[in-house]
Amino acid sequence: DLARQLQQLEQEEEKQYNLLEQALDDDTILQQLKEYRQVK
């Protein structure tokens, strides 16, 4: 069933995208922590 396959693909892409966003957030937080420690 093609429509269902497409829907699954979209959901997978969304999951990947969310994971990517989380990873970027973690990176930003790490960066801020480093800068914060350097300031102290």
Sorted by where each begins, the domain ranges of the chain are: 1-40
Write out the E strands in the chain.
Answer: none
* pLDDT recorded at residue 11: 97
Q: pLDDT tens-digit profile of 1-40?
A: 999 999 999 999 999 999 999 999 999 999 999 998 988 6
Q: Read off the pTM.
A: 0.58
* pLDDT recorded at residue 27: 92
Distances (CA, A) of 38 to 5, 18, 27, 28: 50, 30, 17, 15
* pLDDT recorded at residue 39: 84
Cα–Cα dist 5/1, whole Å: 6
Cα–Cα dist 26/40, whole Å: 21
